[in-house]
Amino acid sequence: MVVLSFTARWFKINIGYGKCQMITQQKRFLLFISLFMLYCYPAALASAGMTPPGYTLTLNFDLSTNTLAAKGEIEIPAGLEFALDLSGVNTTEVSIQYSDGEKRGLDTSGPQVVLPRDDRSAILSFSYSKAVQKGESNLISERGISLLNNWYPLPSRPCLFTVYAQLPDGFSAITESDVFPLPTARNMAVGHFSKSTKRISFVAGPYQLDSLAVRDDLRIYTMFFPEDEDLAAGYLQAGARFINRYEKEIGPFPYKHYVVVANRLPTGFGLPTYTLLGQAVIRLPFITRTSLAHEIVHSWFGNAINVDAQSGNWCEGLTTLLADQSLIPEPEKRAEIRKSSILRYQSYRPQDQAERAFSLADFRSASHRQPLAAYRRSVGYDKGAFFFHELRSFIGEERFSRGIQALYSQYRDKTASWSDIQTVFEEITGTSLESFFTGRLHMTELPVIAAKDISIDRRDGIRLHCVLEQQQQPPIPMVVPLEVETASATFKTAFFLEKARQEVSIELDDRPLSLTIDPEYDLLRSLVKEEIPPIWSRFLGSEKRLIVLENASSKELYRPFLKAFSGEKTTVRLAEEVSNKELTEHDILFLGAADAACRSLFANACDSGENLRLEVRDNPLNPEYIAAIFSGNEPEHASSIARRLMHYGRYSLVEFNKGHTVTTEIAPSQKGIRYQLEHLPRGGATSSLSPFQQLIAEIAKHRVIYVGENHSSVADHQLQLQVVEALYQRDPHIALGMEMFPSSSQEALTDYTAVDSTMDEKTFLQQSGYFKVWQLDYRYYRDIINFARARHLPVVGLNIDHDIVANVYRNGSTDLLDEEQRKQMAPERDLDMPGYRQRLLEVYTRHAGGHNDQQFSGFIQAQALWDESMAEEITRFLQQHQDYKMVVLAGNQHTRKDSGIPPRVARRMNVKQASLINLLENPGSDRLDDVADYFFIGEEKALPVPPRIGIVVESSEKEANGALLIKEISPHGKAGEAGLLEGDILLSVNDQTIEDIADLRIALLDVRAGDMAKVQVSRGAEGQQLVFEVELTAQP
């Protein structure tokens, strides 16, 4: 009879809304509702006196004003304290009537109505309205109705809900209900849910209804809009398949129906008895593969079993494991997903973690609107999934499966906490899991795992020894997977680690080549830098974001990006304003690829072609940060794509064509923590060696020929001369491009090799500034330059002025260059070629004796300036001299075909190139195919050691012409015997005026040990000029 009185009260409310129904129709509908309630809800009659209050809502909609008008009644049992939250709705009337007949109105001026405990039962009645504004998470319109948040007064405790809704014509509806489809007569739909809850939802619209039997007493339905009904069959089949699968894994499905509902709003919710997916989302192909399963699994965990919010939300992690990850059949792809989970967590984790520490036990809500939402969701979903994945590894697959079933069996229609879950699995395993649960639930730092003291014992078979370390405190128990690669096989094993350090010994059949910790990402742990690719989420989660706009006019085009990333974490600069220092110290987003800042790091790699493209790379100035480039020729789609990009965080490359995603890629990165113990060398057959002239015939087919050198190798320079001579014999139209001379030396180079040149060698060395720029013994290059001079071959100075390179290296950036120096720089510079940074870092560390980030930023920029400037000069000459080849003489690192000058020339023009190397002086690399196209084995030679006067000199501040001061007399020479003294000013040597070191080196260019040098000096305050004959001696 309780149900009957419920219905009668609702009927009066309905009349109160002014519905123009005939009395006879009212009676018929009353009879229909009464019979429906009696038939469908016998449990409600039996439990009329139970504790959960009964909450009845009656809804009417005005689609033209986007408004809900509603009345409600709540039956409150005796002895129950109760409160009603009125925030979010416009309440017009609240009254209460007790079982003894007392009735009174209640104050609605505050956000809550609070009813203290009373011995009498009562009925709380109220009226309210809600106008839904555009942009809310609710919707009331002619297109549909979706009520999810703050749409009715929220009770303080779970209730048994009954909803009556007068539907617009052509609409059908769904709410949490024991029966579906909802009984409906004359557009009045009714739903009752016999499971107590505080929150319900209501959705209605012009739906098409389709269904499929899962079994005799269970059906799955779709409620799709007419334009999407072609998707229904796929969703029904996928949903039935998932329900069948998880009934086997977990237990009986908790409801008698399940409905997949399309929403006009962009949602993805798993609600009791149904899932609500955004209309745009349901067309995404991956939804029926994994996401639908996620929402269906929530029927068991999160809906049938409630989450004890006070102890933390465990169901998102468990659901993610069982659905999103376990459904992927390929183990490699599951490993990729787990790695992406760690990357996402590390991307969004706040840098000041100590102040905002957030553990898995702290996770409560999956809301996108909470502070640090992306980070907190990653804790709940990603760390949560890892928790259960590691638990499965820790206790074994079979016991984990039994534990999941036991959890559902024991806590169905109840509330479960982390502690309850621990108890269930301890009962299954018969052992304490306290340290496993406590450590993982409360840790805020990821474990840091490493292998130390790796050694190989060959005394009795082959054994690999190491110490596994957990570097975080306190250590937690874990199963650590190890993979050992040998010459013949790959060996996999795992070790239980619960202490900070543990010795490990692995018996092997063959010599180990590498050891890898956790190659398949079975552990939630901190990734080492080699494992971290440049991905978009690193910008999304960054607390030091820099957005660089192409120009001022592009602000409007990219306004959605600027709005999405507004706030104190983001700095916005125009390309013409941004400093090199800012580029070094931020995660960067270049909006538009034509700006100079982007091209100074990535050259024309910023160009995207026809598609809209987001590409994420390591910031070449500082790999702790990333640089993302958004560019393309579809500005009309840029606004919508800005919003969509928030969902592509795991990718390094995303391309769109006409608004559709056409490409997604993740940059390669190392798998696992890898220790390379030994490399297997590469080699080749000696029968493939070719005679010199045969190689030259092949090399001559190229227009640019690079002959690399170790600068002080006579063998390398002899090979350079031999190649130049041989190529000249085949075609005299060749030019020499030389790293040793900057473009400022070009006039001297041209004059010296001209047909009518009268310049002598010493004048050439002075005017070209050779010893100021290069400083190496000129004899290394003399024969090559003399060959060019004798045949009047063009010699092109390729390098940029040394002062520019030195300034950039010294200051760590290009910010302090003046305008004239900037004009000499190649505007397009690619610092991000594969392997370029790593190669230069090895060189820098070897020579600098350590790694300073600022100095290395200057070093890589200086080297790129070097390479790009030489490429620019080569290209300029070839474009101006179409019938010429060029032989480029430069250091081996510059002539590398993978990341030196050749790819930079190729970026500027389409030209056939070949790179040559002499193995005699460069035996170190077995990756010759990365370095060169051809190799030679030259003849070993050495230059005679140049003799010395036996003095140490420095520039004299006293002399206006910058003459040299003799600072020290060397005991290894004969300058002292000849009469030279410390403090003398060196004026000339062999009648050549000496103003600087370069002059001194030119004067001694062709002398030999035993020769007498005529040395003129100025001595004393009076400047007495003296001349001495000094016998030159060889260096000791």
The single-letter code of the amino acid at 766 is Q
pLDDT at 750: 97
Residue 41: pLDDT above 90? no
Which stretches within 330-379 are classed as H helix? 331-348, 373-378
Q: What does the pLDDT look like over 536-566, one tens digit per residue?
A: 999 999 999 999 998 888 888 888 889 888 8
- Residue 62, CA distances (Å) to 65, 164, 183, 365 in order: 6, 15, 22, 33
DSSP letter assigned to residue 558: T
Choices 3.30.2010.30, 3.30.565.10, 3.40.50.300, 1.20.1730.10: CATH for 207-285: 3.30.2010.30
pLDDT at 854: 67
Residue 66: pLDDT above 50? yes
Determine the Cα–Cα distance for residues 1016 and 492; give it in Å rounded to an integer.
Answer: 77
Determine the Cα–Cα distance for residues 778 and 871; give it in Å rounded to an integer.
Answer: 24
Q: What does the pLDDT look like over 867-910, one tens digit per residue?
A: 999 999 999 999 999 999 999 999 999 999 999 999 999 999 99
Q: Of residues 780 and 16, which shows the higher confidence score?
A: 780
> Mean pLDDT across the stretch 318-326?
96
Q: What CATH homologous superfamily does 951-1031 map to? A: PDZ domain (2.30.42.10)
CATH class, domain 545-665, is: alpha beta
pLDDT at 661: 87
Determine the Cα–Cα distance for residues 417 and 668; give it in Å rounded to an integer.
Answer: 40
Q: What does the pLDDT look like over 97-137, one tens digit per residue?
A: 999 999 999 998 889 999 999 999 999 999 999 999 877 78
Q: What does the pLDDT look like over 191-213, one tens digit per residue?
A: 999 999 999 999 999 999 999 99
Determine the Cα–Cα distance for residues 885 and 732; give it in Å rounded to an integer.
Answer: 9
- What are the structure tokens assigned to 433, written together? 């899991």
CATH topology of domain 449-527: Immunoglobulin-like (2.60.40)
Do 359 and 443 form a contact (C-beta atoms < 8 A)? yes
Q: Of residues 666 and 44, which shows the higher confidence score?
A: 666
> Mean pLDDT across the stretch 331-349?
96
Where does the pLDDT of residue 970 fall: very low under 50, low under 70, confident under 90, or very high at 90 and above? very high
Residue 477: pLDDT above 80? yes
Q: What does the pLDDT look like over 221-263, one tens digit per residue?
A: 999 999 999 999 999 999 999 999 999 999 999 999 999 999 9
Instruction: Please name the CATH architecture into which domain 305-339+349-442 falls.
Output: Orthogonal Bundle (1.10)
Sequence-distant (6+) residues with CB within 8 A of 96 are: 103, 104, 106, 115, 122, 123, 124, 125
CA angle 386, 387, 388 (to 5 degrees): 90
The single-letter code of the amino acid at 464 is L
CATH topology of domain 1-199: Immunoglobulin-like (2.60.40)
Q: What does the pLDDT look like over 714-739, one tens digit per residue?
A: 999 999 999 999 999 999 999 999 99
Same fold, 1-199 and 449-527: yes
Where does the pLDDT of residue 851 fall: very low under 50, low under 70, confident under 90, or very high at 90 and above? low
Sequence-distant (6+) residues with CB within 8 A of 699 are: 705, 723, 727, 914, 916, 934
Lowest mean pLDDT among 221-230, 618-627, 884-893, 954-963: 954-963
Q: What is the pTM of this model?
A: 0.85
Q: What is the CATH number of domain 694-936?
A: 3.40.50.11550
Residue ranges per structural domain of the chain: 1-199, 207-285, 305-339+349-442, 449-527, 545-665, 694-936, 951-1031
pLDDT at 29: 41
Where does the pLDDT of residue 845 fall: very low under 50, low under 70, confident under 90, or very high at 90 and above? confident
Determine the Cα–Cα distance for residues 1036 and 1032; give it in Å rounded to an integer.
Answer: 12
Half-sphere exposure for 622 (CA within 13 Å, toward CB):
17
Sequence-distant (6+) residues with CB within 8 A of 734 are: 724, 727, 728, 793, 884, 885, 886, 887
Lowest mean pLDDT among 589-593, 634-638, 723-727: 634-638
pLDDT at 26: 38
Q: How far is CA 865 from the centre of its chain?
A: 27
> Mean pLDDT across the stretch 309-317?
93
CB atoms under 10 Å from CB of 691, counted, come to 8
Do 360 and 380 form a contact (C-beta atoms < 8 A)? yes
DSSP letter assigned to residue 939: -
Where does the pLDDT of residue 638 fall: very low under 50, low under 70, confident under 90, or very high at 90 and above? confident
